Amino acid sequence: MSKIEFIIPTYNRPNQLMTVISSIFSQRDDRWKIHVVADGLYDGFQKVKDYFNDDRIKFSVLDNPGRDWGHTPRNYGLEHATEDWVVMSGDDNYYMPVFVDHFLDITNKGGVHFVYCDMIHNWVNFEYYYIKSQPRYGAIDIGNFMTKRTNAQQLKLDITKEAADALFVEDYLRKFNREGVRYIPKPLYVHN
């Protein structure tokens, strides 16, 4: 049975990390696992790790932090991913309780390797906006798309660029067939 592996980089935001993990634990569908990758050890990390003492979560700490918008931890998580599907997220995001079942159900039709959904985005001062996503730079976020693990592992995020997540999408779609892209026109993801 296919599962989604959520790769979550974190640094010094234990409250946000608790929120994103809780949103995954609240999924209606339990076909998921989580790999939290800390960009160096920080106060509060052990508390989160102890609170979520569950076999579905793996916690790793990088000895040589990248401090590069979470890209080094995401690359590390991607390199060590084992499930069929990956979502590279952030510790300041969260997911609607139907994210996993909507995303995995769409893959049952076959030939799919990239799935994305719409999102709610907090730009400034807690003003949230609905964004109709598109698989291109400036219209998608790292946490609102899912890729086949084997495809994603052939690429890496460019740790020198803040927008490496959007550039990853462009590289991914250049390399792999656009026919395998599916869109869910629902806001199943919130980026803070």
* 129 φψ region: left (φ > 0), alpha (ψ -120 to 50), beta (else): beta
Q: Is pLDDT at 54 greater than 90 in this prediction?
A: yes
Taking all residues of the chain, what is their mean pLDDT, rounded to a whole number?
93
The mean pLDDT value for 4-27 works out to 97
- Judging by DSSP bridges, how do beta strands 32-38 and 57-61 pair with one another? parallel
What residue ranges in the chain does DSSP mark as E strands? Answer: 4-10, 32-38, 57-61, 85-88, 93-95, 114-122, 128-131, 145-148, 181-191
Which residue shows structure tokens 């893959």? 107
SS3 70: coil
**pLDDT tens, residue by residue, 122-179:** 877 778 899 999 998 888 998 999 999 999 999 989 888 888 888 899 999 999 988 9
pTM of the model: 0.96
What is the set of domains in the chain, with CATH numbers?
4-191 (3.90.550.10)
Q: Is pLDDT at 182 greater than 90 in this prediction?
A: yes
**pLDDT tens, residue by residue, 118-137:** 999 987 777 889 999 999 88
Q: Read out DSSP for 16-60?
A: HHHHHHHHHHT-SS--EEEEEEESS--TTHHHHHHHT--TTEEEE
Residue 6 CA from chain centroid, whole number: 5
**pLDDT tens, residue by residue, 58-84:** 999 999 888 898 999 999 999 999 999
